[in-house]
Amino acid sequence: MNTRKADVLIIGSGIAGLLAAKLLSVTKNVMLVTKGSLKNSNSILAQGGIAAAMDEHDHWKEHYSDTLTAGNYHNHVETTEILVKNAAKYIQQLIALGVPFDRNSNNELELGREGGHHRNRIVHAGGDATGNRIITQLISHVKKLVTFYENEMTFELLINNRKCVGAITKDSFGNIQFYQAEHIILATGGIGGLYSLSSNDITVTGDGIAMAYRAGASLIDLEFVQFHPTMLISQGKTYGLVSEAVRGEGARLVTNDGAYIMDNIHPLKDLAPRDIVAREIFYSLQNGNQIYLDITMIKDFKKRFPTISDMCEKNGIPIHTGRLPVAPGAHFIMGGIKTTSNGETSIPGLYAIGETAWTGVHGANRLASNSLLEGITFANRVAAHILQQSKQEQPLTVPICMNHKLTLPAKKEIKETMTKHVGIIRDKHGLQTAKKWLEEYLPSYKGNQYLDVSIEDMETVNMLTVGWLITLSALERTESRGGHYRTDYPKPNDEKWMKHYITRRRKWDESNQIKVPSAAIIH
Ligand code: SIN
């Protein structure tokens, strides 16, 4: 079987993966593999922007304080400091790479406001097309410097003597491909696809977290899932995100009869923390209301928010009425594959960056516009770390097990189960129901046994695996904090749970690697 060899293999094409690829390609032979096209990622959909203390009256310490407050003080303080302290420097790096951030008439960066920020500190590009502008620019660099493979899903990481030495992918024609690399970076994004309504790209199904788990990596904080309050919806279907920047410009959440829903809920009203706003909308919807964003006070809406305006037009949702129908949807997972501040996971040779990684910077609830910032920060750090390493050749010995028969549910059923029982509102009974249901389908795992299944089935296995892991952690945390809300434990319990991190790890058993019926040995 053919093996592609590189110094560094990057899996995923969001902001973190692309930027790491660009930075590493200076001296390394880099290959990048992605499940969809280079343009399939959550990063390209990002509307809000990147938070950075760039105004002369602002300071990174204020950004730090807002990040900790939003994170319910569950954040890792050292990495959070790294994040906010270097934000302005990394914005300059993107500018040097050609990203056209929006500027005012004095040619200064235009700084917007979003929920949880006490100052205007969000840089954006093309109004609400920030992610698109950044990714377009990064792709133009990467295409010249890096070998990339689109439409290949990574099925498994290859572990040899407890070190990650490569990965196996499959394309849509069923062709299996082996990759061998000294450094493997997971940049596969989050888990939005596990829920019925989500802001995420269609390809985002928790794959990185699932394969890291199968490989025996430590995972952490999986119970913290952020639901964005405002997906654009019509007839139960979501058409994408309506950025919080719209509420930052004054838009208000209203019921059918025009009542403001956030007035008596929180002093920050519509810009209260996302979990609080999302819950309020959830309750209002349950009470039979339809919820709208009243945008009548925003001048030149189409000019400021061209992406959202296009999205409405394309899907027959009129904006001239000044009301956009919205509902909450899964947006971001604060937990993920546990990493050091240099992106190292618990498995030598394996790194994780971007949403699939846990760096601790988001605590229990991510502050708006800190996700692209996390992507660029840790892409820089992982690249600097790898560039310092000396070369070490690794032989690749891979056991393969085929012919595994799976009985899987439809993806829709997983989404419904997760939404109903492991969503915005949780409790013990619902979580136990979800756990039981997921365990009925969850296959036992030995070796690289899924190589003979289709991409569709592999995604389903990953969704079941990650859904089950989130459910276990949500059951364990008997309190409410940030993105984890339980009606049976509705308050934070600082004494028991403050800075208490729930980790999960599949016990690595050498027999997982070796005990297989047919083995392909690759040197
Ligand atoms: C938004 O534009 O509302 C999303 C920004 C973010 O999640 O940081």
Which comes out higher in pLDDT, residue 447 or 126? 126
User: DSSP secondary-structure letter at 120?
Assistant: -
- Flag whether pLDDT at 142 surpasses 60: yes
What is d(CA 348, CA 165) in angstroms, rounded to the nearest whole number?
9
Q: How many contiguous H segments (helices) and E segments (strands) does the chain have? A: 16, 21
Among the ranges given (173-177, 245-249, 396-400, 449-453), the one the predictor scored with the smallest mean pLDDT: 396-400
pLDDT at 452: 78
Sorted by where each starts, the structural domains of the chain and their CATH numbers stand as 230-328 (3.90.700.10)
pLDDT at 208: 98
* pTM as predicted: 0.94
The sign of the torsion formed by the CA atoms of 415, 416, 417, 420 equals positive
CA dihedral of residues 18, 21, 25, 30 (deg, nearest 10): -130
Does the active-site annotation cover 477?
Answer: no
Contact between residue 232 and residue 326 where contact means Cβ atoms under 8 Å apart: yes
User: pLDDT averaged over the chain?
Assistant: 92
Distance in angstroms between the alpha carbons of the first and the last residue of the chain: 11
What is d(CA 204, CA 188) in angstroms, rounded to the nearest whole number?
8
Across 64-79, average pLDDT: 96
**Percentage of residues in the chain having pLDDT higher than 70:** 93
Give the closest residue (by CA) to ligand 1 atom 7: 368
What is d(CA 401, CA 517) in angstroms, rounded to the nearest whole number?
6
CA separation (Å) from 379 to 14, 83, 372?
11, 12, 10
Kindly report, residue by residue over 47-59, the tens digit of the pLDDT. 989 999 999 999 9
Contact between residue 480 and residue 490 where contact means Cβ atoms under 8 Å apart: yes
Kindly report, residue by residue over 359-396, the tens digit of the pLDDT. 999 999 999 999 999 999 999 999 999 999 887 766 66
Which atom belonging to ligand 1 lies closest to the Cα atom of 371? Answer: 8
Task: Compute, in angstroms, the gap from residue 47 CA to the centroid of ligand 1.
Answer: 6
- Flag whether pLDDT at 211 surpasses 60: yes
pLDDT at 517: 30
**Res. 521 pLDDT band, cuts 50 70 90:** very low
- Flag whether pLDDT at 518 surpasses 50: no
pLDDT at 25: 97
- Among 121, 133, 252, 274, the one annotated catalytic: 274
Task: Compute, in angstroms, the gap from residue 196 CA to the centroid of ligand 1.
Answer: 19
What is d(CA 242, CA 327) in angstroms, rounded to the nearest whole number?
10
Task: Compute, in angstroms, the gap from residue 301 CA to the centroid of ligand 1.
Answer: 17
Kindly report, residue by residue over 300-333, the tens digit of the pLDDT. 999 989 999 999 999 999 999 999 999 999 999 9
The angle at the Cα of 166, spanning 163 to 172, to the nearest 5 degrees, equals: 145
